[in-house]
Amino acid sequence: MQEAPRHFLDVTSSITGRAWVDRLDTATGRIAAAISQRSELPDILARIIAGRGIGIEEAATYLEPTIRNLMPDPSTLTAMDELAERIAKAVADNENVALFGDYDVDGACSCALMARFLHHFGLNPQVHIPDRIFEGYGPNIGAMDKLIDGGATLIITLDCGTTSEKPIAHARERGADVLVIDHHLADHALPNANALVNPNRPDDISGLGHLCAAGVTFMVLVAVNRVLRNRGDSGLPDLMKLLDLVALATVCDVVPLVGLNRAFVLRGLEVARKGEKPGMQALSLAARLNGPLNPYHLGFLLGPRINAGGRIGDAALGTKLLTIDDEQQAMVIAAKLDELNTERQRIEVEAVEEAYATAELEIAGGEGPPLLVLASAKWHPGVVGLVAARLKERFDRPAFAIAINPDGTGTGSGRSVPGVDLGSAVIAAVDAGILPKGGGHALAAGVTIKEGDLGVFRAFMADRLEASVRTARAASALKIDAALTARGATVDLLHKIEKAGPYGSGNPNPVFVFPAHRARYPQVVGKGGHVSFTLTSDDGAKLKAIAFRAAGTPIGDTLLREADQPFHFAGSLSLDHYHGREQAQLRLTDIARPGR
């Protein structure tokens, strides 16, 4: 019989209504103790490792993941050999190649990877990133014609193409070969490409469905290098130098940081810190990045700026920045992306405020619907994904935000909670004739919809997802890794904890509880409504702390209204590099009253 979760500090209902449970049950606690003894690791690090399902024998490998040990033969991916051979032929024949990518970070990185690889052999591929508003997601016939009219005999789609049957058929009818490199969920009606590599296609048994498109693209390049090497070619590119692009995409696309993905990010960060790509360096300067590059910087500082081009500006800017080697051009593009990101933030704040108000009316103090499907003619199509993410965070359920265009069609994005497969549900809605277009993966999806079909779509999704949402929300107790004090949250401890990282989707950031501490000097800071404060313990120790986007929430209201009262504080720790000095910082997740 499965052991019942143990409430941490007896918290059954926090300020946000969540129970706090020990991430480790009795058996896992024993494994943690054994890992600590055998590997001579601090108890707290052993608890973190065991709490992520790592066994005693796997612990040492987990702490030092390598691409050599974790990457399988690329040929395990269906159609990889055919696709690699075709790219190798293009290299050998000096063909006119065109790249068609998605407008997000994963698409930009995938295109940059392929472009840099082809540049090494003297090829100068055309690159087309579609306009989010006028072209939408994925290949379209007009763009395919433009690339073919420009001389392309081979078109490679990256982070898209799996559901683009008609545009790909059109390109092939015009005499061009088409290769698809993607990772999005696919139904059985695959397009008739010359080769399609996607670990999530129904007949792929590689087990690599957790890779983002850039991760798949990297494996493609490994396969192409092997083909060229077997033909006797020399002077092949060093693919390890491209791993910073893979790391950036892996973090920003929020794919699980497990197995090979962890190795991609760890090694990619090492490459990025060398500063060999002018685009990454320029963007880091524009983002005013402090301290050594880490996953947080990739996901929350660099990624949003690259995405800003695709959301409200020139969709090709991100790919250009990551591909060029001219420092001056890189600085100009990075400055433009930073400017677009500031404008994006303004547009997003306005849309989020409207979305919150509408959602509050739908829920009206009760349980509300299992998911939110909200639409507005005032929203910019480029920020609907961000609005959906904010709705999901605030109301703890899957959410769609849909921008209604003047012609009555809607362009929307959805974000889901762990355990609720949004991509499959959207594909089912397409199959049912409710959506003309849609797709995605478990945690994120995109849709095109007629305004008049919003009600039908809302009802279809609610009916399909209600049970899984109920199960996911019931299991949404906050899992605690360990208890700490403000005095114990040292820089040295954080360096030890980082050995089990990088943290993110699939490898959750450790959550620590600070029992009976107090919040001093709380204040609202920044445009996002963050609440900063100083966490103090009874022995006088202090810890810098912040609650992101907390103003107007139960957490923010409690911090501001009841400062100096003792509470249990739960959150994750990070290293803050202020004026070049490292210090620990708490990123608050939840608060509980003692005795609750």
Q: Would you say residue 577 has pLDDT above 90?
A: no
Please indicate, yes or no, whether residues 513 and 456 belong to a single structural domain of this protein. no
Q: Residue 554 corresponds to which amino acid?
A: P
| pLDDT, greater one: 591 or 1 | 591
Over residues 479-491, the pLDDT tens digits come to: 999 999 999 999 9
Q: Which helix (H) or strand (E) holds 400?
A: strand 399-404
Q: Is residue 63 part of a domain?
A: no
Q: Are 347 and 354 in contact (CB under 8 A)?
A: no
Candidates 588, 586, 567, 572; CA nearest to 9 is 567
Q: Answer yes or no: do 207 and 164 share one domain.
A: yes
- pLDDT (0 to 100) of residue 2: 59
Cis bond upstream, residue 125 (ω within 30): no
Statement to judge: residues 583 and 502 lie in one domain: yes
Q: Does 552 reside within a domain? A: yes
Closest CA to 385 of 550, 552, 254, 258: 254
Confidence of residue 596 (pLDDT cuts 50, 70, 90): low
Using CA atoms, how far apart are residues 585 and 543, in angstroms rounded to an integer? Answer: 6
- Same domain assignment for residues 161 and 237: yes
CATH number at 543 reads: 2.40.50.460
Instruction: Read off the pLDDT band of 506 (50, 70, 90).
Output: confident
Among 443, 474, 505, the domain boundary falls at 474
**225 is in which domain, residue-wise?**
69-244
Same domain, 91 and 152: yes
Residue 385: give its domain's CATH number: 3.10.310.30
- The structural domain count of the chain equals 3
Q: How many residues belong to the chain?
A: 596
For range 574-584, the mean pLDDT: 84
Helix or strand run (H / E) with residue 271: helix 260-273
Asked if 160 and 102 count as a contact pair (C-beta separation under 8 A), the reply is yes
Q: Is position 486 within any domain?
A: yes
Q: Kindly state whether residues 79 and 216 are assigned to the same domain.
A: yes
**Is the confidence at residue 133, as pLDDT, over 60?**
yes
**Full DSSP string of 405-473:** PTTSEEEEEEE--TT--HHHHHHHHHHTTS-SEEEEETTEEEEEEEGGGHHHHHHHHHHHHHHHHHHHH
415 and 557 fall within a common domain: no
pLDDT category of residue 379 using cuts at 50, 70 and 90 = very high
Q: What's the pLDDT tens digit per position in 556-573?
A: 999 999 988 999 999 999
Given this model, what pLDDT does residue 365 score? 65
Residue 277 token pair: 């790509």
Give the residue-averaged pLDDT of 298-317. 93
In a domain, residue 31? The reply is no
329-368 residue pLDDT tens? 999 999 999 999 999 999 999 999 999 999 999 887 678 8
Domain end call among 244, 279, 314 = 244
User: CA dist 501 to 210, 322, 573, Å?
Assistant: 17, 25, 12
Domain boundary among 203, 221, 244: 244
Q: What is the 3-state secondary structure (H, E, C) of 229-253?
A: HHCCCCCCCCHHHHHHHHHHHHHHC
pLDDT in tens, 95-121: 999 999 999 999 999 999 999 999 999
Picking from 303, 302, 292, 241, the residue whose alpha carbon sits closest to that of residue 501 is 292
Whether residue 153 is found in the same domain as residue 239: yes
**188 has a pLDDT exceeding 80:** no
151: left (phi over 0), alpha (psi -120 to 50) or beta: left
Question: At a CB cut-off of 8 Å and minimum separation 6, what does 122 contact?
Answer: 94
Residue 74's SS3 state is: helix
What is the distance between the alpha carbons of residues 111 and 549, in angstroms, rounded to a whole number?
Answer: 33
Give me the pLDDT at residue 6, please: 87
Structure tokens that stand for 299 in this block: 């996901």
Q: Are residues 445 and 520 in the same domain?
A: no
Percent of the chain with pLDDT over 70: 99
Could you tell me if residue 257 is inside a domain?
no
**Bridge-partner residues for 519, per DSSP?**
535
Residues 148, 100: contact at Cβ < 8 Å?
A: no
Strands (E), 539-580: 542-547, 566-578
Work out the average pLDDT over 433-451: 91
Backbone angles phi, psi at 410, to 5 degrees: -115, 140
Q: Is residue 381 part of a domain?
A: yes
Examine the domain organization and report whether 515 and 432 are in the same domain: no
Residue of 4 and 376 predicted with greater confidence: 376
**Domain assignment of residue 235, yes or no:** yes
The pLDDT tens digits for 154-176 are 999 999 999 899 999 999 999 99
User: Is residue 1 pLDDT above 60, yes or no?
Assistant: no
pLDDT (mean) for 232-255: 96
How far, in Å, CA of 233 to CA of 210, rounded? 32
pLDDT band at 523 (very low <50, low <70, confident <90, very high): very high
CATH number at residue 109: 3.90.1640.30
Helix (H) or strand (E) holding 376: strand 372-376
pLDDT value for 269? 96
Predicted confidence (pLDDT) at residue 32 exceeds the cutoff of 80: yes
Residue 187: predicted pLDDT: 67
Mean pLDDT throughout 464-486?
Answer: 91
- What kind and span of H or E run contains 197? strand 195-197
Structure tokens belonging to residue 101: 């990518």
Kindly state whether residues 467 and 485 are assigned to the same domain.
no
Whether 16 and 95 map to the same domain: the answer is no
423 contacts 398 by C-beta, under 8 angstroms:
no
User: 3-class DSSP state for residue 85?
Assistant: helix
Q: Is residue 514 part of a domain?
A: yes
Kindly give the residue spans of alpha helices, DSSP state H, lying in 40-158.
43-50, 59-63, 67-70, 80-93, 105-120, 141-149
SS3 375: strand
Q: Which residues pair with 98 in a beta bridge?
A: 126, 155
**Inter-helix orientation angle 327-363/303-312, to 10°:** 80
